[in-house]
Amino acid sequence: MSLNRSEKEAVISEVISLAAKSQTLVMAEYRGITVASMDKLRVTARNSGVSLSVLKNTLVRRAVAGSAFEVAADQMTGPLIYGFSEDAVAAAKVVAEFAKTNDKLVIRGGVYGGKALDIEGVKQLASIPSREVLLAQVCGLLMSPISRTAIVLSALSAKKAESEAAEAPAAEAAQAPEVPDASAAEEAPAA
13-53 pLDDT tens trace: 898 998 889 889 999 999 889 999 999 999 999 998 999 98
Handedness of CA 17, 20, 24, 29 (dihedral sign): positive
**Distance separating alpha carbons of residues 119 and 177, to the nearest angstrom:** 88
**Distance separating alpha carbons of residues 124 and 122, to the nearest angstrom:** 5
pLDDT range class, residue 181, cuts 50, 70, 90: low
CATH for the stretch 5-128: 3.30.70.1730
Q: Which residue has the higher pLDDT, 122 or 144?
A: 122
Q: Is the pLDDT of residue 182 over 60?
A: no
pLDDT of residue 8: 86
pLDDT of residue 28: 93
pLDDT of residue 39: 92
pLDDT range class, residue 184, cuts 50, 70, 90: low
Mean pLDDT across the stretch 74-97? 90
How far from chain centre, in Å, is Cα 25?
18
Q: Which helix (H) or strand (E) holds 37?
A: helix 35-47
**Distance separating alpha carbons of residues 63 and 22, to the nearest angstrom:** 13
Q: Is the pLDDT of residue 78 over 70?
A: yes
pLDDT range class, residue 153, cuts 50, 70, 90: confident
pLDDT of residue 162: 82
The mean of the pLDDT values for the chain is: 83
**Distance separating alpha carbons of residues 176 and 153, to the nearest angstrom:** 34
Mean pLDDT across the stretch 70-80? 89
pLDDT in tens, 59-69: 999 998 888 89
pLDDT range class, residue 179, cuts 50, 70, 90: low
Give the CA diameter of the chain.
135
- In the chain, where the domains are located: 5-128, 130-164
CB-CB contact of 44 with 94 (8 Å): yes
